[in-house]
């Protein structure tokens, strides 16, 4: 009810805003509430529609984690249309992008269209300086039906979203184009910092490249393997888990919490593969000896804990940090968060290993 | 005189600001005005210190181009220090970053230190939400002298800059570590959009990778080969010119202005290599047929004009657009501006060709 009321107000504001810029529009568009289409990237079919999780169900979760779960990282709207133009009106929270991300990645939209059996980039929706934005994503497209996937902001909450098409065109929900469910739990790096577009966050890239449904459970600065998070994640209906969660916890927390994280998942999923990844965030320690020591210690503790668990667990794997970002230290935006070059290098290393493991399990 | 007065006011504001945050500092730092150090990346030794060109000398230049010349794209401060900490206080204009760039690239700083004969990333200075920022770039470094290069913002003007070191450490100017002078004239892509850090703009990467002194003459949205620009660039004391200027002009402008651009340079430099590059900005035309046609036409006209000129000019080269950003369309932030992945792919293609040409000329 609250959601509906808030959406109506938003719709009213959007109408005013749209009226204001209608003079610029080349031809009339028809807008469809994205609620009527399919959303992908969610662990399960929960409300609110644009939140990654219904955090009201998880009383033990901290307020910060609940807020981060409202960010639409990894979510995408799946639809088909024969329109020559695709446009968007959307509203996000009043937050402004952080200095290590683009506004497009933080609170914009990123469209891909299936072509020659590949998801091809079609256009971004660049956010305005206000919280309500309206823009053309792509226009002048050839005739014919397009199978579309519109990735939502990685670091903001979508309050409402409408997709615009040519007035005479049609738009219909598509099925989720990705198969199986693989949860990636991690830090800001999983959530999407510092990819330049929402669809270049690494779980989203992995989904498009492999066809698997990777679920983005990145919680910026807060992936500390807390018991409440382990309890939340473990029962989810997953075919595999990826734990990329060394960057945020302290070395002591890595030592104390890794076993509980893995064991909690194991209680619900005795035999699914769990793939643990050491910390990708290391360039800040290139000259800073304290940070270098801290990262090394965390990776060492993580390996030690995983190796202990592996003695009784044949379905637990470790991917080492070595070479994840290449060797020229040009793979991050700020010494911590991979840029698009860093993410591509990371995927070149982890993708073959992940696919090999999945093949072994018939996933 | 005006500059000095403005700097004094700034220094006063910085003092107030520094006093405000001094409680957070771990140990006292000593600040040095970067004016007393060496600046690299400039076509010649002109004032104002932090502007790429002294535009007061070029009456025919448009106001927009004059403003863009105040952006410090490609400029870097060259110094040596034995400090364990390097910090910065700096002031930029009140502009806010555009949505296809990070704040760090737009108005932050990016430090590299020479190690094992390579320029290695050491840290960024992340801008505050105010125009005056102060932050630690790197700390806890090992003893010994460090040879440093601090890249300045790509899309903003530096109004003042002070570099902080340990109170007991020393800081001295270093020579320009790069040899020869190679001017790259182009659009926002040359200026640095959408690299994630100032030092990842492609002319800066090329300098660090090759040791040549590439001069960033990127003018965002305004590299249209105007006569005033040709007249400004042509007499500069360069060993080679790179023309990466197809993205901004219209197809007609490419047709009308390319010959004048090349011929004007030739009047001052009869025999230096001039390397022309077709447009890297093409992903926006992936589905938009109008844009695809326009880019194709501009590239075709550019090739046609360059090939005509090549008949009487053995020192004029063309690098084709094919494959500049790879083939997966994931190399831009917004369909136009390369992200770090796109820039790295672009360099993998153009760097060997550029080096081969330079070798031929003994550059």
Distance from CA of B214 to the nearest CA of A (A): 18
- pLDDT, position A18: 45
Whose CA is closest to A334, among A289, A301, A288?
A: A288
Q: Is A23's pLDDT higher than 90?
A: no
Answer whether the bond into residue B194 is a cis peptide, omega within 30°: yes
A87-101 residue pLDDT tens: 999 999 998 899 999
The beta-carbon neighbor of A126 closest among B100, B122, B142 is B100
Residues of B in contact with A126 (CB under 8 A): 99-100, 334
pLDDT over 70 percentage in chain B: 93
Q: In this complex, do B196 and A332 lie within 8 Å of one another by their Cβ atoms?
A: yes
Contact between B140 and A335 using a beta-carbon 8 Å cutoff: no
Q: What is the pLDDT of residue A8?
A: 45
Find the residue in B nearest to A114 (Cα).
B287
For testing the chain B interface, which of A202, A333, A338 should be mutated: the one with the most B CBs within 10 Å? A333
Binned at pLDDT 50, 70 and 90, residue A13 comes out as very low
Half-sphere exposure of B69 (CA within 13 A, CB side): 23
CB contact under 8 A, B335 and A121: yes
CA atoms within 13 A on the CB side of B32: 22
High-pLDDT (> 90) share of chain A, %: 87
Judging contacts by C-beta atoms under 8 Å, the chain B residues touching residue A103 are 97-100
Q: What is the pLDDT of residue A283?
A: 86
Cβ contacts (< 8 Å) between B140 and chain A: which residues? 288-291
**CB-based contact A138 B197, cutoff 8 Å:** no
The answer to whether the beta carbons of residues A334 and A282 sit under 8 Å apart is no
pLDDT tens for each residue of B313-351: 999 999 999 999 998 889 999 999 999 999 999 999 999
CA distances from B358 to A69, B182, B355, B361 (A): 53, 10, 5, 5
Mean pLDDT of all residues belonging to chain A: 93
Compute the average pLDDT of residues A186-207: 98
For residue B36, give how far its alpha carbon lies from the nearest alpha carbon of chain A (Å). 25
With 0-12 / 13-18 / 19 or more C-beta atoms within 10 angstroms meaning exposed / middle / buried, residue B16 is exposed
If you average pLDDT over every residue of chain B, what do you get? 93
pLDDT band at A211 (very low <50, low <70, confident <90, very high): very high
B260: Cα separation from own chain's centroid: 25
pLDDT beyond 90 at A240: yes
Among residues A230, A40, A259, the alpha carbon closest in space to that of A151 is found at A40
Encode pLDDT of A92-125 as tens digits: 999 889 999 999 999 999 999 999 999 999 999 9
Tracing tokens 């020869």 back to the chain, one arrives at B180
Per-residue model confidence as pLDDT tens digits over B95-146: 889 999 999 999 999 999 999 999 999 999 999 988 899 999 999 999 999 9
Å between A120 CA and nearest CA of chain B: 7
This model of the complex carries an ipTM of 0.92
Q: What's residue B19's pLDDT? A: 42
Domains and CATH numbers, chain B: 2-173 (2.60.120.260), 179-360 (3.40.50.1110)
CB contact under 8 A, B196 and A339: yes
Q: What is the mean pLDDT of residues B254-261?
A: 98
User: Could you tell me the pLDDT band of residue A26, with boundaries at 50, 70 and 90?
Assistant: low
Residue tagged 């007991």 (tokens): B168
Q: What pLDDT, on a 0 to 100 scale, did the predictor assign at position B131? A: 84
User: Considering just the CA atoms, what is the radius of gyration of chain B in Å?
Assistant: 21
Task: Pull the structure tokens for residue A229.
Answer: 């998070």
In chain A, % helix, strand, coil (3-state, to 5) comes to 35, 25, 40
Neighbours of A70 (CB within 10 A): 17
Lowest mean pLDDT among A328-342, B4-18, B273-287: B4-18
The residues that bridge with B215 in the sheet, in sequence order, are B183
Residue B15's pLDDT is 44
Give residue-wise pLDDT tens across range B274-320: 999 999 877 889 999 999 999 999 999 999 999 999 999 999 999 99
Nearest residue in A to B331, CA atom = A340
How far from chain centre, in Å, is Cα B192? 6
CB-based contact A84:A141 (threshold 8 Å): yes
């Amino acid at each position: 009810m609250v959601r509906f009321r808030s959406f109506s107000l938003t719709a009213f504001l959007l109408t005013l805003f749209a009226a204001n810029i209608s003079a610029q529009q080349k031809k009339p568009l028809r807008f469809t509430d994205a609620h009527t289409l399919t959303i992908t990237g969610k662990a399960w079919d929960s409300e609110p529609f644009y939140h990654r999780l219904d955090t009201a169900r998880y009383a033990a979760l901290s307020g910060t984690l609940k807020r981060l779960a409202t960010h639409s990282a990894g979510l995408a709207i799946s639809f088909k249309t024969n329109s020559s133009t695709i446009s968007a009106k959307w509203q996000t929270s009043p937050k402004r992008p952080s200095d290590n991300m683009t506004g497009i990645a933080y609170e914009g939209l990123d469209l891909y269209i299936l072509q020659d059996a590949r998801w091809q980039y079609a256009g971004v929706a660049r956010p305005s300086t206000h919280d309500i934005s309206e823009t053309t994503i792509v226009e002048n497209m050839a005739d014919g039906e397009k199978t579309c996937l519109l990735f939502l902001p990685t670091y903001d909450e979508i309050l409402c979203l409408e997709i615009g098409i040519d007035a005479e065109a049609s738009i219909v929900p598509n099925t989720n184009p990705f198969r199986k469910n693989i949860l990636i739990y991690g830090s800001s790096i999983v959530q999407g910092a510092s990819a330049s577009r929402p669809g270049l966050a690494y779980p989203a890239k992995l989904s498009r490249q492999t066809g698997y449904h990777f679920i983005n459970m990145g919680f910026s600065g807060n992936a500390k393997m807390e018991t409440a998070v382990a309890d939340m994640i473990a029962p989810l209906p997953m075919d595999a888990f990826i734990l990329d969660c060394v960057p945020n916890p302290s070395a002591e927390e890595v030592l104390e919490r890794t076993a509980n994280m893995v064991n909690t998942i194991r209680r619900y999923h005795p035999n699914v593969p769990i793939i643990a990844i050491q910390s990708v965030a290391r360039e800040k320690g290139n000259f800073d000896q304290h940070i270098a020591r801290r990262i090394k210690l965390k990776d060492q503790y993580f390996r030690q804990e995983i190796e202990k668990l592996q003695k009784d667990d044949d379905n637990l794997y470790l991917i080492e940090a070595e070479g994840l970002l290449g060797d020229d230290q040009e793979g991050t935006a700020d010494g911590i968060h991979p840029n698009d070059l860093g993410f591509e290098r990371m995927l070149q290393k982890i993708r073959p290993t992940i696919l090999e493991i999945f093949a072994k399990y018939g996933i």
